[in-house]
Amino acid sequence: MVDLLHRALGLSDEEAAKIGDILKRTPNPLELAMYSVMWSEHCSYKSSRLHLSRLPTSAPWVLVGPGENAGVIDVGDGIAVAIRIESHNHPSAIEPYQGAATGVGGILRDIFTMGARPIALMDSLRFGSLDDAKSCWIAEGVVSGISGYGNAVGVPTVGGEIDFDSTFQGNPLVNVLCLGTLPKERLVLGRASGIGNLAVLLGSSTGRDGIGGVSVLASAGFSNQGDLEKRPSVQVGDPFEEKRLIEACLEIFDSNLVVGIQDLGGAGLTCATSETASRGGVGMDVDVSAVPQREPGMEAHEIMISESQERMLAIIEPSNLDSLFEICAKWEVNANVIGRVTEGDKLRILDRFDGNVLAEIPASSLHDDAPIYDRPKKKPEMNKTVPLEKLKVESDVLSDLLSLLSDPSWVYNQYDHQLFLNTVVGPGYDATVLKLRDPVSGLETNKGLAITTDGNHRWCAVNPRVGTKLIVAEGLMNLACVGAHPLALVNCLNFGNPENPQVMWELSESIDGMAEACKGFGIPVVGGNVSLYNESSGVNISPTPVVGLVGKIEELYRKPPGFELLEGNRLVLLGPSHIDVGGSLWSALHGLNSGGLIDVDLETHKVLADLVRSLVSDGIIDGIHDLSAGGLGVALAEMVAKSKFGITVARIPDALSFFGEGPSRVLVSINSENVNELLSRAESANIPTTRLGLVGGDRFIVKDLIDVPKETIDLAFSTKLPNVLGAGTVNA
C-alpha cells in the first residue's frame, strides 16, 4: 500500500527508495506525506538548486542572504532592511481572490519573521489577453485579493507592474514583494536551540484549508478541466488575524523572548518544525494533539501538512512562557505549546508528549537530503530573424501607439499606498521612493529607500540570457532615475515544466544572465523564489524571470523628478542609439517573430546610471523616464499623459525607430538653462545625447509621424484597463 501511496503523493520510485535508505526502514504514511511536501518542487527547489548556486549572494552590507525567510541588508545608522519576493501563481489561477490574498499574507510573515516591520508591498502581475473573459475574471479577483488583504492588514502596496499576454492564458503570474525595516539588534533567525526549550504555535487554528496547497499546486500544471477540484488546496486568509500577529510578534521580539521563529507557509508545520530544528542542529518533539484544530477529526498528516494561514512557530525558553502568553493575550493571539527541543537530530511526531510516536525522521533529511536534479537541457531551434533594416511592416504609427498605451492606475488606485505617510514617489513611475524612518523612534533620517519590480517575458522568449540581463539593467536604471544606489536584488523565476529540456535550458540561461548582470553591477542576490510547472493544457509559459531591487537615497531633501513635463522644457535622450524590435512590445502587437535583441554593455550602463543618479540628486532635471517596453514612442506618450503639456519632437524616420527597444536609454525633460550642464556631464562620461524637441502646447507632435491633440494620448492611456476590467471588486 505504501508503495502505491508514494506515487499518489507525488514522490517518484527513486525518491521513495531514498527515503527508505535514510530511515533504514519502510516509511509509514505520515512520514511519506511529510517527505512529499518537503521534497516537492516548491519547497526543495530540486530542479533549480544546482543552478541557483551560480548567483552572487554576498556583499559587506548583506546581513542575511538566501536560505532564511528573507534577505536582510545593512543600510547604516543601526537600521536594517528585510526584503523578499514570492509567487502565488497556481493558487491564484484556481481561486484568484484567496490565492492573491494569501500570497500577500505569506510574504508579510516572511518579513516580520526576521524581526522587521513590513512597510511596503509591490506586485508583479501577468494575465492572459484582455480579450479573454476568464483572464479578466482572474485579473479582477487577484487585484481585489491583494487590495483586500493589504489594505486590511495596514501595509501599503506602493507599486509594481501588470501585463497581459496570451502566454499566461490559464496560468497567471502573481509575484508579490515585501519590504520591512528593523533595528539591527532585533534581527531574529529561524533556528531552534537549547535542549528543553519550547516550540509555541502562535496565531490561527489549523484546518483542512490549504492541505497540500502551494507545495502540491506548484508542481502541477493546469488543464481546462478539473481546476475546480483543486480549490480545497487554496488557503484562506484572515488579514485581521495577521495584523494582530504582526504586532504581537514585534512586541515579543522587543522583549527578547524568542530564541528563534519561523512562519508557517508551504508545507505548514512539517516545514516550520524541521527547518528550525535542522538549522539549529537539534531535534524536536511535536505533539499533534496540542495543535488547535479548526475542524473535528483531523488526522496527524492533515495537521502536519496543512497550510492554514496566519501561523508562526516560536522557540522560547520555558522561563519566558508566561511573558509570551501575556503579550499574546494582549493582542488576542492564540498561543499553544506544541513541541520541545530535544537532543540529537530527530523530528518526532507524537499523539501526546508522553504518548505514541507517529513519525520519526532526521529533521535535516527533509531539507539537506532532498534530491537535486541536473535535468537535461536542450537549446531550442531559434527562428531565423530578419535584420532590422530589411524588416518591412505596414504600420499606422498613431494606431500602434494608442494600442500600446495602458495606465496601471486602475490597479494601484485600489491599493492604499500612503499608509505610514512614507511614500514620496508612489506607483506608476520608474521606481517607488519611501522615507527611511528610524524603526524604533519613527523619526525621519532624511534618507530614502527605493524599490522596483521588473520583468519582460518577450525579451526572454527571444534570448533568456540576454533578456534577463536586460531586466536587471532596467531595474538598476529605474533606481537611478530616482537617485538611488542599488543594494540588493531578489528574484522570482517563473518558468514552465522543468522536465522539458527546453524549459530547463531557458531557466539555466536566465540564471546565468542574472549572475552576469549582478556581478557586473555589484548587486548581491539576497533571496528569491522559483516557480516551475507554469503551464496550461501542456503549453509552457514564456520564460518570465522577475526581479525586485532595493536601493538607498543618501540625501532625500527633495522629491525626485517623475515624468513631469514643464512648459518650455527641452527633451533630451541619453544613451546609445542601438535598437531592434526582437522581443519588443511593438513586434508582439503585430505578431512578428523578427528582429534581434540588443545586449547590454554592462560598463556603459553603469556609467549612464551614475550620470542619471547625479543629475537627479543635484536637481538638474525636471522629468525623467527610463526607456523600456515600447521604446521611445511609449516613453514620450506616458510622460505626456502624466503631464499638463504636449510636445513637439524632431523627425523620427519610421515606426521601427519610434518603437524599437534597446538598453541604456533614458529620456529627460530639462530647463533650457540647464541643457549645457547636462550635455557637458554626458560628454565627460562619454554618454551620447540626442536633442529631441520641446515641451509645450496641447498637441502630441512627432514630425512626419504623428500630430494629434494631447487629449487623444491621455484618453487612450487612461481608459484601456477600466473599460475592460471594470471596478475591480470581484470576490470569486
CB distance 30 to 349 below 8 Å: yes
- Beta strands of 352-471 (E only): which ranges? 357-362, 423-425, 432-437, 444-455
- Is residue 88 flagged as an active site residue? yes
DSSP per-residue letters across 206-231: B-STTTTHHHHHTT--B-SSSGGGGG
**What amino acid occupies position 190?**
G
Give the Cβ contact number of residue 689 at 10 Å: 16
C-alpha gyration radius of the chain: 26
Q: Which three cell numbers stand for residue 655?
A: 515606426
* Close Cβ partners of 105 (under 8 Å, ≥ 6 residues apart): 149, 153, 237, 239, 242, 309, 310
CB distance 433 to 449 below 8 Å: yes
Q: Which three cell numbers stand for residue 321?
A: 512562557
CB distance 673 to 483 below 8 Å: no
- Beta strands of 295-414 (E only): which ranges? 311-316, 335-342, 346-350, 357-362
CB distance 574 to 687 below 8 Å: yes
Q: How far apart are the first and last CA of the chain?
A: 39
Q: Exactly one of 42, 90, 301, 625 is catalytic; which is it?
A: 42
CB distance 195 to 465 below 8 Å: no
Q: Exactly one of 51, 88, 90, 605 is catalytic; which is it?
A: 88
Q: Report d(CA 207, CA 201) in Å as an integer.
A: 14
Q: Report d(CA 34, CA 11) in Å as an integer.
A: 11
Q: How far is CA 215 from CA 97, 542, 611, in A?
A: 19, 22, 45
Q: Report d(CA 84, CA 104) in Å as an integer.
A: 11
Give the Cβ contact number of residue 499 at 10 Å: 13
Q: What is the DSSP letter of 27?
A: P
Q: Report d(CA 353, CA 287) in Å as an integer.
A: 6
Q: What is the dihedral of CA 154, 88, 165, 155, to 10 degrees?
A: 10
Helices 239-254 and 321-330: angle between axes, nearest 10 degrees: 140
Active site residues: 42, 88
